[in-house]
Amino acid sequence: MSSQKSRTRYKLVPPIALPTMGWMLWFLMIPMGIVLIYSLVMKGIYGGIVWQMTFENYERAFDWLYLKIFLQSLKLALLTAISCLLIGYPMAYVIATANQKYRSALLILLIIPFWTNFVVRTYALKVLFSEQGPLNAAAMALGFFSEPISFSNSYGMVWIGMVTNYLPYMVLPLYVSIEKFDFSLLEAGRDLGASSWNNFWKVLVPLTKPGIITGFILVFTPALGEFLIPDLLGGARSMLMGNLITEQFLKMRDWPFGSALSIILMSIVLISLVIVIRVWMKEEQTKVEAEAAHGH
Amino acid sequence: MATEHRARPSPPFFASLVTAGTFLLLYIPLFVLVTYSFVQTDLDGNSSFTWNWYYEAVADSSLQQALWMSLMVGVWSTLGATLLGTTAALALERTDFPGKKIFDALTLVPLIVPEIVMALSLLIWFVILKISLGGISIVLAHITFSFSYVIITVRTRLADFDHSLEEAARDLGATPWKTFWKVTFPLIWPGILSGALMAFTLSFDDFLITFFTAGVGSDTLPVKLYSMIKFGISPKINALSTLILLATALLVLMIFRPKRSMKTISKESGETSVPDALKALG
């Protein structure tokens, strides 16, 4: 890179980096370190702690009662990310291939709900699917069923909420990837006799993989720790990790247990990220090797 | 971009169908909310048009207070995040120092850490530091989760423009300070602005971190809205939500004005907004 030349070298740290470094240390690193410490001490009364080391909080977290909640959260986050990918890819493709005029209109249509307050969007879904809501009214008027059905208080409702809320996080990076894609490659593929499926699977998908990975991470990570959607749409029966942790902190005042739970959440996120990136790197590696074997 | 003028294939029919269906799914709930905000139902079940819920929402002093809180928190945290983000971006793009790679990687931490973990770690920290939960703790928390976004937008801008301009200014005898204000700053200004805008939006929208770090009586608008919803569905909430929706739509249309955005979407180096917002995501 030519930019290398004009960079000023510092033996220590440039003063201009100091404010942010200090801030990150003081409000990010130390607080997270403290969560780790809190997860290893005993609970005192009224949200206090007792300075005595214990693994009790972690042992308690592996009780089947809580393990079930972890698995449920993991399942729902995965399901959300996959649903978003399946819906988001065709959408991103449509937007990226639309002519310029429609393209910006479609992007704006996508960005408006994305920028709309999260609480408002979730509340809108709650109203739509409520027992006195328009969906029930319409279905009854059309004679689908005679009694209003309760959609809320179910994992299905939480899934709908998560997919509609997180979809733009998937579509936007996918759009960026597909937008950059050189479509003449598809023509070349077709000329060489590739079926549309092969063209899609072997040309378009591999070349838009950065978008897929980014989108997946951007949906999966927040979905795993989601609090608001299950809280407003799922009701008491569909508790997820985010709700469990919030409850420990704001209601039960058991900060050490809540800290242990959030350390576990962080670990799941990190492990998933590593797996996703590893799988991706491995494929890149085999591709490079294959190319090398072909004498490129 | 080179591929821009080449013909693009038309998407398969099912893809268009999925897109249309999903847009419906995204907009129907919002449409219902807006409609409900104008409907009044009397005891006999007859519905009629009304502005009442809007009067009630606007006259509610606790909502006014929450809006004011949101705006103040938004302004102060945007200032802080923009300052931190811009200086960090300059350090990362224009200097070399030992440990820079680690610093670079750490600036991404706020983007990866689950919101709830950041929320509770800050809550514990504020309690330990005896910072009372309220406006100040919320601002500190908001700066912490938003400065990374500013770093990304400003860096993109810094990486894009011609370095030789800065070098030329230096060669002509300008001090680093003067070079920054006369050359660098005017060029990265759009990046700073869109970073600041992003920080403000993030702050104004945030629910969870504010929920954890707000004390009694320091609710921002989203937190206030949440507690109203928990209390029960009321038409006043519909009116308030519609107002928020309207403000959002206006803001988006203002920033991504069709004429401008067409240009910016097609050219990476173009103005700001859409590509920068997208880059911040990708």
Single out the residue of B275, B148, B154, B144 nearest to residue B213, CA to CA: B144
How many domains in chain A? 1
For residue A127, what is the domain's CATH number? 1.10.3720.10
Query: Could you tell me what percent of chain A has a pLDDT over 90?
Result: 39
Q: What tokens appear for A95 in the block?
A: 């937007």
A92-101, A111-120, A190-199, B108-117: the lowest-pLDDT one: A190-199
With vertex at residue A186, the alpha carbon angle to CA A180 and CA A187, rounded to the nearest 5 degrees, is 125
pLDDT recorded at residue A262: 95
Query: Judged by CB atoms within 8 Å, which residues 18-77 of A form the interface with B?
Result: 19-21, 23-24, 27-32, 34-35, 38
Single out the residue of B203, B180, B188 nearest to residue B151, CA to CA: B188
Q: Does A4 reside within a domain?
A: no
B149: Cβ contacts below 8 Å, ≥ 6 apart: B81, B85, B111, B195, B198, B199, B202, B280
Q: Does A188 reside within a domain?
A: yes
| Mean pLDDT (whole number) for A37-66 | 87
Does pLDDT of B266 surpass 50?
no
pLDDT recorded at residue A239: 86
| Mean pLDDT (whole number) for A39-62 | 86
Residues of B in contact with A2 (CB under 8 A): 163
Task: Look up the domain containing A249 and give its range.
Answer: 64-293
Q: Does A97 reside within a domain?
A: yes
| Mean pLDDT (whole number) for B139-165 | 89
Q: Does A85 reside within a domain?
A: yes
pLDDT recorded at residue A86: 94
Please write the tens of the pLDDT for every residue from B24-68. 989 999 999 898 889 888 777 778 888 888 988 888 888 999 999
pLDDT recorded at residue B279: 44
Q: Closest approach of chain B CAs to the CA of A265, in angstroms? A: 8
Q: Could you list the beta-strand ranges (E) of chain A.
A: 8-9, 41-43, 49-53
CATH number for region B62-232+257-281: 1.10.3720.10
A101-105, A288-292, B264-268: the lowest-pLDDT one: B264-268
Q: Does A282 reside within a domain?
A: yes
Q: Is B95 helix (H, G, I), strand (E, B) or coil?
A: strand
Q: Give the residue from chain B lying closest to A243, CA to CA.
A: B116
pLDDT recorded at residue B102: 93
Q: Does A14 reside within a domain?
A: no
Contact between chains at B11 and A94 (C-beta distance less than 8 A): yes
Quote ipTM for the complex: 0.85
A105: Cβ contacts below 8 Å, ≥ 6 apart: B258
Q: What tokens appear for B17 in the block?
A: 């169908």
- Selection from A286-290, B57-61, B74-78, B178-182 with the highest mean pLDDT: B74-78
Query: How many CB atoms are closer than 10 A to CB A194?
Result: 16
Model confidence band, residue A294 (pLDDT cutoffs 50, 70, 90): low
Q: Does A124 reside within a domain?
A: yes
d(CA B110, CA B69): 24
Q: Closest approach of chain A CAs to the CA of B56, in angstroms? A: 18
Does pLDDT of B278 surpass 90?
no
Contact between chains at B163 and A3 (C-beta distance less than 8 A): yes
| Mean pLDDT (whole number) for A116-137 | 85
Counting one residue from chain A and one from chain B, the pairs whose CB atoms sit within 8 A come to: 292
Domain ranges of chain B: 62-232+257-281
Does pLDDT of A159 surpass 50?
yes
Q: Does A129 reside within a domain?
A: yes
Model confidence band, residue B1 (pLDDT cutoffs 50, 70, 90): very low
| Mean pLDDT (whole number) for A124-150 | 78
Q: Give the residue from chain A lying closest to B276, CA to CA.
A: A176
| Mean pLDDT (whole number) for A178-202 | 78
Q: Is A1 on the interface with B (CB under 8 A)?
A: no
Name the residue among B32, B124, B207 with its Cβ closest to that of A119. B207
Contact between chains at B98 and A255 (C-beta distance less than 8 A): no
pLDDT recorded at residue A6: 62
Does pLDDT of B201 surpass 60?
yes
Please write the tens of the pLDDT for every residue from B5-23. 456 777 888 889 999 999 9
